[in-house]
Amino acid sequence: MLVTITMEFISLLFLTVIFCSFIIRSKNSTNESVFFFRMIAVTMISLILEIIATFTIAYRDQVSVLNMIVNRMYLSTIPIIMLQISDFIIFLYNDELKVNEKKGIILRRILDISCLLVILVDLFLPMHFANNSFGDRFGVYADGLAVTVAISYGIILFFIDFISCIRYRNYYLKQKVLCLIFYFLLLAGGIIARLVIPGITIICCEVTLICILIYFIIENYDTKRVEKLKEIRDQANKFNLEKTRFLSNMSHEIRTSLNTIVVTSNDLIESNVDNDIKDELKDCLYASETLLELVGNILDLNKIESEFISLNNVQYDLKKEIESLVDMTTIRIENKPINFIMNIDNSIPNVLYGDKVYIKQIMNNLLTNAFKYTNQGEVKLNVGCENDFTNKVSHIKILVQDTGIGIKDTSKLFNKFDRLDVDKISTVEGTGLGLVITKKIIDSMKGTITVESEYGKGSKFLVEIDQAIVDNPSISIANRSSMNYNFGNRRVLLVDDDKLNLKVEKKTLSKFNFKIDAVTSAEEALQLMRDNGYDLIVTDVYLENEFDDQVLKYAKKFNIPVVCITADAIEGAEEKYLSSGYSYYISKPYSVKDIYNVLESIFRK
Ligand code: ADP
């Protein structure tokens, strides 16, 4: 008995020291520390009761009532201690899982109630005292049904904890997993030791050890630092999300206005106005393109920050995409004496499968730079390919070559915000982001980019990427040399809550000889859809709240394609709109060719 009492007192001393130090050190009480605090308090009470029980058991005949009360109370602390440990384990993985929080709370409540039931039932179940009893093996001095129930409950919780730990092992911090493994080993080892040597009193010491261990894990500097970092990470993610939302809104606003400028300028250039005015309009268009590129680059910053860019692969006609791109970028030549030479390999398969938007962006960035940083001479665009028809892969090679200012040190070319040779290029607009973004896109496509440059003489950028060849395309291959604007006598419904946008979109669509009805609200749109049969609906997606549910459903029911024209061009926007039920997505500012391509896909499949 002396050995038992000594061990119990030493354990109690340890626990008291941990308890006090924990209260002093834990200034800010986290959920984890509250759990630990509860656990240590219950263990201390249990230990005090165990010490009293060890005394009274020696005088069981003289103090039978007191002995019974103390032992029943002590017995009750066993399920409570086990419950605290289970609670702690549920909390640990729940805290990591986060999403599972609700489930975790329900599980805890079930355990609380079950523990209470066991304690209540145990008050009435028979219990007697015997040497070398069943309970003795588990650190209890008594025997009987009450002991069996309490200990069985503890064993069940032990197994539940064990299974939880294995199931959610990936969610724990490494130190915490070690602590849990130690806990299971100690508890299992203690019980086995008791079964082999019944007199040995080690349960209280084990629980004390577990508490010490958990204490050092909670109070561990590294663990605390990891936790602090996690908190900071969560906060940073939140801010990042807000930043993305802000950028998305900004982009929407800027793109909407730009769209009006670009479309109207283009229309006027094509009309019969004087050449002087046309020149001025071209300046206006040029400025808009620059502004658009700027907006695009700022938005793309988001993409650089994320690890990899997600690709949106579709079937596309590379030659057609190059044509529309060249139309847009040659505007950069301005009045400089530059000869633009384009050479597109005829063996490029008609339909490829890949992210056409990004392929275009790569070429656009390289071509724009070539025009920007070349004052005279030539800019060459060569697009070639090596086709492997057995594996259905086309190895595309895009070469952009210029006779411009050249690059002194190509090693810094792909650094964020780095502009080289700043003195020489101070008059050229740029953010130093284009090539970083280009490289990121190429990496995501598992391609390569190589640069050769001779300072003062010119530069050569070669991009190589593989694209899948499509044998039986689901898109139509238009005659590239001429655009046939006649899509038959179609009826189109145009919906946009902004009257200026509506006017611009109506003007663009009227080029295709459609019969157009234009409205500014979903209600009006629905009314018209019920009264008339439409072949196509074109809408600004900012009407999405009312529009999504009603108009989209209605259009789907009658198989009417819905095209969204939106200024929301942030990463993932296209996928978002397509998956929410729109048939096609066009981002602002758009060209007539963008609209034409979509119309072709709809009406000339
Ligand atoms: P930006 O052109 O917006 O400054 P980029 O990332 O496209 O940013 O290019 C980074 C830098 O690389 C440019 O500022 C310029 O100094 C240099 N550069 C890129 N392309 C060329 C080129 N074709 N000729 C000369 N210098 C170039």
SS3 annotation, 526-566:
HHHHHHCCCCEEEECHHHHHHHHHHHHHHHHHCCCCEEEEE
Tokens 């609380």 -> residue: 112
The residue-averaged pLDDT of 196-218 equals 65
pLDDT at 85: 81
pLDDT at 397: 96
pLDDT at 526: 87
> Which of 34-38, 67-71, 357-361, 561-565 is the least confident region?
34-38
DSSP conformation class of 291: H
Total residues found in the chain within this entry: 605
Reported pTM: 0.49
> Which of 182-186, 194-198, 548-552 is the least confident region?
194-198
> Which of 356-360, 378-382, 413-417, 441-445 is the least confident region?
413-417
CA of 317 relative to ligand 1 center, distance in Å: 28
Which residue's CA is the closest to the ligand 1 atom numbered 3? 430
Give me the percent of the chain exceeding a pLDDT of 70.
Answer: 79
Q: Which atom of ligand 1 lies closest to the CA of 414? A: 6
Torsion angle, alpha carbons of 239, 245, 250, 256, to 10: 170
> Which of 210-219, 338-347, 555-564 is the least confident region?
210-219
More confident residue, 335 or 76: 76
Residue 39 CA to residue 25 CA, distance in Å, equals 17
Residue 185 CA to residue 179 CA, distance in Å, equals 10
**How close are the terminal C-alpha atoms of the chain, in Å?**
92
pLDDT at 517: 93
pLDDT at 58: 72
Q: Is 421 in the pocket of ligand 1 (CB under 6 A)?
A: yes
pLDDT at 423: 67
Q: What confidence tens digit (pLDDT) does each residue in 4-62 have?
A: 778 778 878 877 887 787 777 665 566 667 777 787 888 888 888 888 877 777 776 67
CA angle 84, 87, 93 (to 5 degrees): 145
Q: Is 431 in the pocket of ligand 1 (CB under 6 A)?
A: yes
pLDDT at 457: 93
Residues 507 and 263: beta-carbon distance below 8 Å: yes
Which residue's CA is the closest to the ligand 1 atom numbered 2? 430
Q: Which of 561, 559, 564 is nearest to 574 (CA)?
A: 564
Residue 563 CA to residue 494 CA, distance in Å, equals 10
CA of 366 relative to ligand 1 center, distance in Å: 9
Q: Which atom of ligand 1 lies closest to the CA of 402? A: 23
Q: What confidence tens digit (pLDDT) does each residue in 463-479 have?
A: 999 999 988 766 555 54
More confident residue, 330 or 310: 330
Residue 479 CA to residue 174 CA, distance in Å, equals 62
The enclosing H or E element of 467 equals strand 458-469
> 106 falls in which pLDDT band (50, 70, 90)?
confident
Q: Is 458 in the pocket of ligand 1 (CB under 6 A)?
A: no
Is pLDDT of 342 > 90?
Answer: yes
Of 298, 373, 399, 422, the residue with max ligand 1 atoms within 8 A of its CB, to mutate for a pocket test, comes to: 373
Q: Is 371 in the pocket of ligand 1 (CB under 6 A)?
A: no
> Which of 226-240, 385-399, 506-520 is the least confident region?
226-240
